[in-house]
């Protein structure tokens, strides 16, 4: 087939693709960290680019998402457009690579206790009177008697022993994991011991390169999850594995590739070799966990929602093609049940909820939402497909928390908002949407049911100055946040009635989850002593707005604390300490999973929870 | 490059090769089980074929090995000849595939105790009130509490669990190895449990497919070791790994391929699937052991002769690309030291020398020769590069024990001999050579030093009738065993002075080894209560001839017992019983290795041992 050059001018990258390839696929293959909010589903209209040169063919349907002006300027959508000559394009949202990915978190004190051990030894040299094998003399220089005999070794390590011993004149450093020897290095390398912790989110992957002696973070890296182009949320990823030939292999391969890129990047940033990394911990929700391992996630999404495995798993890096030291180990944190996965276990490890005397509530809102309620005596959890709305996927002007997103809105003397990166706004992210809707609700511009009132029916005096923002839109009303003249793309940023409905579905699911867990626990809201907000959205949102809308019970407003990327922190703790990793299995077992859909009163509670009180 | 067709008419096989390929390489690539006694070293002149059609180019040097008549008949040597058109050839020694490979051995009683366990269980079905993962419910149906928690599982097994459970309606058979689960199968398959034991010799590989419940041999298969085309003995194989690019990978790959072919053949013969095989045991000398594992054997052949590993090893079949069940295990028997490898350990396991009150001598003559002397109190071993002469490699009319080989010679009223397969003779194998030289020595046709006497100086009356067989040859004498008119190829079969010298070197090495081990042990020959002959040559040779020439001390003639392929028997025992396999490590540790070359009086003893007494 004829091949064509695609020149991504704005990012300075060039690749070749066969005729008929979509621009979306070309972007992926070029390894550009570009965001497709709806996973390439042709639903969000956000993967805009400008054609500068060359012949393309675009589906007429894309015009639904574009203004006349944009069409005239040569703007197209990457998912709709196919390449039929050498082309040159400008990607319009490539600054999305500067996503505000939540990487830091509140750290807690812990005792460092690495999974792997390095020991510098001098191995006894062979002679004509001492015919022992290289392995035997190595192992007996390390341990005595039964301990030496129990030491386990695999071929890749055996392969390196003879030359390493002789080149290093029998002065070597041995790396062991439990009773397995992972490798030997020439001379004394005990000063370096490095590992990496990963939090694999549905949307983003964050990796922490850690010095395993000091606990020091050597570098932090992140990327959009490269699986996102095959589906924005866990359900659409699972559908992809079921409907596409080799779908499972594709998604598995994508996340492995993504992680390997992060490992390389983190090592380069910290100026170390990837071979120096001997251990990696992995946290992620059940679906991410299964896809990372190449396990079919099919039955997680079908009643009664059974994962293949929930236990902690220790695997060889090589068997998963993870490019750390080829004898290195991958430690996968355990899942709980259903979609509540190893990321929630990591959050619990980081927040030590399983050791708390007081009852706490953890709310982790990422692309998926997970809630845990309890104390050392009892823990309950549930998951809600809450995220996409909070991440801008089904919101008319929605976008993730990236440069150009309105992230906070204040209804003061006049309308005020802040934009990430202090640039012209180009959309609104979850925390901005929350503030806006909370304001509209508090001023009575929308009612308890979330419906816009006729401007004449609005009675709140404070609302007066904002009435001019209420516009007619698609047969009802919308709230104009930013006029087309001040936005980056020349289109207005609105809060539409439909946006509010989408928000209510997400908020309703979260609030229903919290209510049902309280019911299961048999406590009233006052008994909750602390609310810990984890995850990207939870971290940036204004607690007052969340409580005002009932996303979190009003009574808890004063008890809210942000804990940042607690899943990442948990993965780091599990990396730094074998005891902490060991504890994850107990935590996973201690939490009782509540499947919301099958909870008897779920639909009633959910319907009620959509209201703004 | 231009490609040409090669039609192997006699075997009905056809392949394509690039111009310039040697016929030897074409034979290998066609997968024809053809014997290259000198490993393609252009030294033995035995890889004869007849060109029927097409253009070849042959090195003039091959004429040294061919008679005028053969040259006129279009006979060539495969190692000298390159292909330059489509050709059609007839291989003249392809009946070599019917080698008398030693497969049976004296069996001893034992308790069967398989390494792997199969259990039929009914796994608890999941429900909305029971969210445990598939793995958890499987593992808890198998074991309780800590035992269940300690069960280890890898991704390939996890991958098969969800569908197998659901298709089989949760009625499955679980296969475990220690605390690892190797797989699950639908319904009750506990009636089948199959393993395979291999003896990897330098020249031949033998495999035994075994029912692990009954111990019954389901099929036995064998092949020439496909590495042989890269070198006839261990030293030339090691040179190959050092001198050729990717030499180690090539030899490793060849033996793995060979073993996989045998597995397939054995399974077909027994009408089972290769997936039913879950465990394989491997015995072989240290070099074969290292090449099987892909380990560099370099330092085994360099003073102080150190292998990479001697301990028993349990590996995943998949990591070695052995095509049994992909979660199956490969159990490699331990080595002793130097070239004395896992095959000798297997021989000791089979013969139970480590449990014997009496002192025994084991002589295992294959391509390499190994000797063990001792009892339960003390065991000594050494190795001697004895084999090639006994296998015909450096003998003018030598060949292996295949159809057409003179395998026994009797000097009675007249010269009598037997030919394997009762066909016209085409050469002489080790046991025939031994008989012939023993007869010549006993009749005084050759003297103590192995030198032919002038016919007039022969005084023994019995020799009179054989004087007519003594002919002038290359400035000295030779003994004519078979006239050119009665041989298959129309050339005479002789015992030359040079043949006797080659034999003396091999015999001298073995005899010196026995003497030195006796010295190390501090015993006289009378204290040896039994001599166990193992291996191909040992099994077919006439004990009287061996003792007459001093290959084995004369005093032991009445104490000799053949034990057949004891290495194969040991591999089978280790396959059938986890305790027996466990014992191999103790045996390997109990044997003290004696490096002959560095033994102080070695050259004196060796020189003396070459004589015929």
DSSP B227-254: GGGG-SSHHHHHHHHHHSTTHHHHHHHH
Residues B309, B352, single domain; the answer is no
Contact list in B for residue A287 (CB cut-off 8 A) is none
What is the number of other CB atoms lying within 10 angstroms of the CB of residue A90? Answer: 17
- Measured between CA atoms, how close is A145 to chain B, in angstroms? 13
Pick from A131, A162, A337: CB nearest B304: A131
Instruction: Report the residue from A158, A306, A313 with minimal CB separation from B309.
Output: A158
Question: By C-alpha distance, which of A89, A58, A172, A104 is closest to A350?
Answer: A104
Whether residue B221 is found in the same domain as residue B284: yes
Q: Flag if A131 and B337 touch (Cβ within 8 Å).
A: yes
Identify any residues that bridge with B496 across adjacent strands, giving them in sequence order. B478
The CA distance from A135 to the nearest CA of chain B, in Å, is 5
Report the alpha-carbon distance of residue A286 to residue B134 in Å, rounded: 13
Q: Is A302 on the interface with B (CB under 8 A)?
A: no
Mean pLDDT of A361-388: 89
Task: Please state, in angstroms and rounded to a whole number, the distance separating the CA atoms of residues A481 and A435.
Answer: 12
Residue found under tokens 């004891």: B566
Backbone angles phi, psi at B124, to 5 degrees: -65, 130
Which tokens hold the place of B248? 């180690």
Dist. CA A418–CA B489, nearest whole Å: 99
* Sheet with strand B470-473: strands edge to edge: B470-473, B476-482, B493-496
Domain for residue A152, yes or no? Answer: yes
Q: How far apart are CA A187 and CA B559, in angstroms?
A: 55
Alpha-carbon distance of A433 to A441, in angstroms, equals 12
Cβ distance B308 to A132 less than 8 Å, yes or no, reads no
Distance CA B463, CA B478 (A): 14
Do residue A295 and residue B593 have CB atoms under 8 angstroms apart? no
**Cβ contacts (< 8 Å) between B585 and chain A: which residues?**
149
> What residues of A are in contact with residue B293 (Cβ under 8 Å)?
155, 158
Which one of B170, B186, B202 terminates a domain? B186
Q: Which of A136-145, A444-453, B322-331 has the lowest mean pLDDT?
A: A136-145
Distance CA(A405)–CA(A386), nearest Å, equals 20
Residues 6+ apart with CB under 8 A from A215: A110, A112, A576
What distance in Å separates the CA atoms of residue B47 and residue B67, rounded to the nearest whole number?
14
Is B162's CB within 8 Å of A131's CB? no
Q: Report the residue from B133, B298, B595 with minimal CB separation from A128.
A: B595
What's the rounded Cα separation, in Å, for the pair A181 and A185?
Answer: 12
pLDDT exceeds 80 at position A11: no
In the predicted structure, residue A39 carries a pLDDT above the cut 80 = no
Structural domain that includes position B150: 116-186
Question: Which helix (DSSP H) or strand (DSSP E) does residue B220 occupy?
Answer: strand B217-224
Calpha distance A557→A575 (Å, rounded): 34
In a domain, A176, yes or no: yes
The CA distance from B65 to B484, in Å, is 16
How high is the pLDDT of residue B441?
Answer: 96
Distance from CA of A313 to the nearest CA of B (A): 8
Average pLDDT over residues A232-255: 94
Where among A95, A126, A142 does a domain terminate?
Answer: A95
CA proximity to B383, closest of B362, B400, B401, B399 = B362
One domain for residues B30 and B142: no
The pLDDT of residue B39: 73
> What is the per-residue pLDDT for B226?
94
Mutate to test the interface with B, among A126, A129, A131, A184 (most CBs of B within 10 A): A131
Residue with tokens 């798993």: A313
Residue A99: per-residue pLDDT: 41
Closest chain B residue to A320, measured at CA? B155
Confirm whether B286 is domain-assigned.
yes
Cβ contact, residue pair B131, A298, below 8 Å:
no
Q: Which two tokens stand for residue A471?
A: 């516009």
Cβ of B308 within 8 Å of Cβ of A153? The answer is no
Among positive and negative, which fits the CA dihedral A26, A27, A32, A38?
negative
For the stretch A565-586, pLDDT in tens is 899 999 999 999 999 999 999 9
DSSP string spanning B544-612? HHHHHTTSS-GGGGGGEEEEESHHHHHHHHHHHBHHHHHHHHHHHHHEEE--GGGSTTHHHHHHHHTS-
Contact B159 A127 (CB under 8 A): no
Looking at residue B157, the DSSP 8-state letter turns out to be: H
Q: Does A122 reside within a domain?
A: yes
Residue B110 lies in a domain: no
Structure confidence at residue A386 (pLDDT): 67
Is residue A389 a contact partner of residue A437, using CB atoms and an 8 Å limit?
Answer: no
Q: Is the minimum CB–CB distance between B544 and chain A shorter than 8 Å?
A: no
A295 min Cα distance to partner chain B (Å): 6
Contact partners, residue B216, CB within 8 Å, separation at least 6? B210
Kindly provide the b/e burial profile for residues B155-172, where b requires at least 16 CB atoms within 10 angstroms of the residue's own CB.
Answer: bbbbbebbebbeebebeb
User: Is the C-alpha dihedral spanning B537, B538, B542, B548 positive or negative?
Assistant: positive
Average pLDDT over residues A535-545: 86
Q: Distance, in angstroms, between A224 CA and closest chain B CA?
A: 26
- End residue of a domain, out of A503, A538, A555: A503
Note whether B379 and B246 are same-domain residues: no
- The band of A42, judged by pLDDT with boundaries at 50, 70 and 90, is confident
Q: With a cut of 90, say whether residue B15 has pLDDT above it.
A: no
Asked if B299 is an interface residue toward chain A (Cβ–Cβ < 8 A), one would say: yes
Give the pLDDT band of residue A218 (cuts 50, 70, 90): very high
Q: Do B305 and A131 touch (CB under 8 A)?
A: yes
CA end-to-end span of chain B: 61
Residue B305's closest CA among B389, B381, B202, B377?
B381
Q: Quote the pLDDT of residue B174.
A: 95
Q: What is the CATH number of the domain that holds A69?
A: 3.10.20.30
Q: Kindly state whether A298 is in contact with chain B, defined as any CB-CB distance less than 8 angstroms.
A: yes
- Nearest one of B98, B100, B118, B83 to B4, comparing CA atoms: B83
Best probe of the A interface among B127, B129, B131, by most A CBs < 10 A, is: B131
Same domain for A324 and A229, yes or no, is yes
Those residues with Cβ within 8 angstroms of residue A90's Cβ, 6 or more apart along the chain or in another chain: A9, A10, A49, A50, A52
Query: Is residue B306 within 8 Å of B299, Cβ to Cβ?
Result: yes
- Those residues whose C-beta lies under 8 Å from the C-beta of residue B251, and which sit 6 or more positions away, are B227, B230, B237, B240, B241, B291
How many other CB atoms are there within 10 angstroms of residue A250's CB atom? 15
Model pLDDT, residue A544: 94
Q: What value does the mean pLDDT take over residues B422-426?
A: 91
CB atoms A128 and B303 under 8 Å: yes
Contact between B308 and A598 using a beta-carbon 8 Å cutoff: no
In A, minimum Cα distance to B298 occurs at: A162
What's the pLDDT band for B98 if we cut at 50, 70, 90? very low
Test B162 with A299 for CB contact under 8 angstroms: yes
pLDDT for B520 beyond 50:
yes
Answer yes or no: are the C-beta atoms of A346 and A571 closer than 8 Å: yes
Q: What is the pLDDT of residue A37?
A: 75
Q: Do B133 and A306 touch (CB under 8 A)?
A: yes
Beta carbons of A363 and A531 less than 8 angstroms apart: yes
For residue A109, pLDDT beyond 80: no
pLDDT at A74 over 80: yes
B528 or B613, higher pLDDT: B528
Tell me how far apart the alpha carbons of residues A576 and A495 are, in angstroms, rounded to a whole number: 45
B99 pLDDT band, cuts 50/70/90, is: very low
Indicate the length of chain A as a whole number.
613
Q: State whether A605 and A529 are in the same domain.
A: yes
Is B135–A308 a contact, with Cβ atoms under 8 angstroms apart? yes
Q: Which of residues 75-134 of B touch A (CB under 8 A)?
A: 126-128, 130-134
- Neighbouring CB atoms inside 10 A of B190's CB total 15
B309 reaches A (C-beta below 8 A): yes
Residue numbers in B near A308 (CB within 8 A):
133-135, 158-159, 161-162
Distance CA A414, CA A412 (A): 5
* pLDDT 10s digits, B129-181: 898 999 999 999 998 877 777 889 999 999 999 999 999 999 999 999 988 99
Distance CA A137, CA A139 (A): 6
Q: Is B319 in CB contact (< 8 Å) with chain A?
A: yes
pLDDT at A104 (0 to 100) = 46
Residues B200 and B321 placed together within one structural domain of the fold: yes
Touching B: A residues 264-293, CB under 8 Å? 293
Please indicate whether residue A80 or residue A368 has the higher confidence score (pLDDT).
A80
From chain B, pick out residues whose CB is under 8 angstroms from the CB of A165. none
Q: Let me know if residue B204 belongs to a domain.
A: yes
Structure tokens at B536: 């191909």
Q: What is the pLDDT of residues A378-408, one digit of tens each?
A: 999 999 876 567 777 789 999 888 889 999 9
Confidence of residue A95 (pLDDT cuts 50, 70, 90): very low
Residue count of chain B, please give it: 613
**pLDDT surpasses 70 at A147:** yes
Using CB atoms, which residue from A131, A303, A307 is nearest to B128?
Answer: A303
Question: Residue A130 and residue A128: Cα distance in Å, rounded?
Answer: 6
Average pLDDT over residues B473-502: 93
Q: Are the Cβ atoms of A303 and B133 closer than 8 angstroms? A: no
Segment 147-166 of chain B within 8 Å of chain A by CB: 149, 153-155, 158-159, 161-163
Give me the mean pLDDT over the B601-608 stretch: 93
Taking each helix axis from N to C end, the angle separating B497-521 and B430-442, rounded to the nearest 10 degrees, works out to: 90
Same domain? For B520 and B380 the reply is: yes
Q: What is the pLDDT of residue B386?
A: 67
Residue A298 exposed, middle or buried by CB count within 10 Å (0-12, 13-18, 19+): middle
The answer to whether residues B250 and B375 belong to one domain is no
Radius of gyration in angstroms for the set of CA atoms belonging to chain A, rounded to a whole number = 27
Q: For A487-497, what is each residue's pLDDT tens digit?
A: 988 899 999 99
- Residues of chain A neighbouring B380 (CB-CB closer than 8 A): none
Model ipTM?
A: 0.81
Min CA distance, A250 vs chain B (Å)?
16
Same domain, A510 and A380: yes
Highest mean predicted confidence (pLDDT) among A41-45, A151-155, A357-361, B58-62: A357-361
Q: Residue A155 is nearest to which of B153, B311, B319, comparing CB atoms? A: B319
User: A379 and A394 share a domain?
Assistant: no
- Residue A102 binned pLDDT confidence (cut-offs 50, 70, 90): very low
Cis amide linkage into residue A168, ω under 30° from 0: no
Instruction: Give pLDDT, residue B112.
Output: 86
Q: Do A306 and B132 touch (CB under 8 A)?
A: yes
Q: How far apart are the first and last CA of chain A?
A: 61
Residue A325 has pLDDT above 50, yes or no: yes
Same-domain pairing of B156 and B65: no
Instruction: Report the distance separating Cα B123 and Cα A467, nearest Å.
Output: 64
Beta-ladder partners of B406: B419, B428
CB-based contact (8 Å) between B595 and chain A? Answer: yes
Structure tokens at B88: 């059609």
Helix (H) or strand (E) holding A508: helix A497-521
Closest Cβ–Cβ partner in B155, B296, B307 for A133: B307
Q: What is the CATH number of the domain that holds A376?
A: 3.30.420.40
**Could you give the CA distance from residue B406 to residue B421 in angstroms, rounded to a whole number?**
10
Q: What is the pLDDT of residue A570?
A: 95
The tally of domains found in chain A comes to 5
B595 and A131 within 8 Å at the Cβ level: the answer is yes
Quick check: is B341 in a domain?
A: no
C-alpha to C-alpha distances, A92 to A4, A10, A73, A420, nearest whole angstrom: 21, 8, 12, 17
* pLDDT level of residue B387 (50, 70, 90 thresholds): low
**Domain membership flag for residue B83:** yes
- Report the residue of chain A nearest B293, measured CA to CA: A155
pTM here? 0.81
């Amino acid at each position: 087939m004829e091949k064509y050059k695609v020149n991504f001018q704005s990012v300075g990258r060039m690749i070749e693709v066969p005729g008929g390839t979509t621009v979306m696929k070309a972007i992926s293959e070029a390894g550009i960290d570009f965001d497709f909010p709806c996973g390439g589903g042709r639903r969000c209209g956000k993967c805009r680019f400008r054609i500068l040169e060359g012949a393309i063919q675009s589906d007429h349907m894309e015009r639904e998402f574009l203004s006349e002006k944009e069409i005239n300027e040569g703007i197209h959508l990457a998912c709709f457009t196919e390449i039929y000559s050498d082309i040159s394009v400008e990607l319009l949202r490539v600054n999305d690579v500067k996503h505000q990915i939540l990487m830091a978190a509140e750290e807690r004190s812990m005792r460092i206790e690495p999974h792997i051990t390095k020991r510098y030894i001098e191995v006894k040299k062979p002679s004509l009177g001492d015919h022992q094998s290289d392995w035997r003399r190595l192992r007996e220089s390390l341990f005595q008697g039964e301990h030496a005999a129990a030491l386990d070794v695999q071929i890749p390590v055996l392969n390196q022993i003879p030359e390493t011993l002789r080149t290093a004149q029998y002065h070597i450093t041995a790396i062991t994991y439990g009773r397995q020897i992972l490798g030997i290095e020439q001379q004394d390398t005990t000063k370096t011991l490095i590992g990496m912790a990963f939090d694999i989110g549905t949307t983003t992957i964050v990796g922490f390169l850690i010095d395993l002696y000091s606990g020091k973070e050597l570098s932090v890296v992140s990327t959009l999850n490269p699986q996102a182009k095959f589906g924005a949320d866990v359900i659409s990823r699972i559908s992809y594995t079921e409907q596409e030939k080799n779908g499972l292999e594709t998604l598995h391969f994508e996340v492995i590739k993504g992680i390997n890129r992060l490992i390389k990047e983190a090592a380069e940033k910290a100026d170390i070799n990837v071979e120096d990394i001997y251990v990696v911990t992995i946290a992620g929700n059940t679906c991410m966990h299964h896809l990372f391992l190449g396990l079919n996630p099919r039955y997680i999404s079908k009643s009664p929602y059974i994962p293949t495995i929930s236990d902690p798993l220790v695997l060889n890096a090589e068997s998963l093609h993870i490019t750390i030291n080829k004898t290195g180990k991958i430690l996968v944190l355990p899942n709980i049940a259903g979609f509540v996965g190893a990321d929630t276990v990591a959050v619990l490890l980081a927040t030590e909820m399983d050791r708390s005397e007081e009852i706490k509530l953890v709310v982790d809102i990422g692309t998926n939402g997970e809630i845990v309620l309890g104390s050392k005596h009892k823990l309950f959890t549930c998951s809600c497909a809450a995220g996409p709305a909070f991440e801008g996927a089904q919101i008319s002007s929605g976008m993730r928390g990236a440069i150009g997103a309105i992230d906070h809105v204040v209804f003061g003397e006049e309308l005020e908002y802040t934009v990430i990166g202090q640039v012209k706004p180009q959309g609104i992210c979850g925390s901005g949407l929350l503030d806006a809707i909370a304001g509209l609700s508090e001023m009575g511009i929308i009612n308890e049911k979330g419906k816009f009132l006729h401007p004449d029916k609005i009675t709140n005096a404070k609302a007066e100055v904002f009435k001019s923002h209420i516009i007619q839109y698609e047969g009802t009303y919308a709230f104009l946040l930013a006029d087309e003249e001040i936005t980056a793309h020349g289109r207005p940023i609105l809060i539409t009635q439909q946006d509010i409905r989408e928000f209510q579905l997400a908020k309703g699911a979260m609030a229903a989850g919290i209510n049902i867990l309280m019911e299961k626990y048999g406590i009233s809201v006052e008994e909750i002593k602390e609310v810990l907000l984890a995850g990207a959205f939870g971290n940036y949102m204004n607690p007052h707005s969340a409580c005002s809308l009932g996303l979190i019970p009003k009574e808890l407003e004063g008890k809210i604390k942000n804990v940042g990327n607690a899943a990442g922190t948990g993965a780091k703790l599990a990396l730094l300490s074998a005891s902490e990793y060991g504890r994850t299995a107990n935590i996973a077992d201690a939490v009782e999973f509540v499947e919301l859909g099958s909870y008897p009163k779920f639909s009633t509670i959910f319907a009620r929870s959509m209201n703004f009180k």
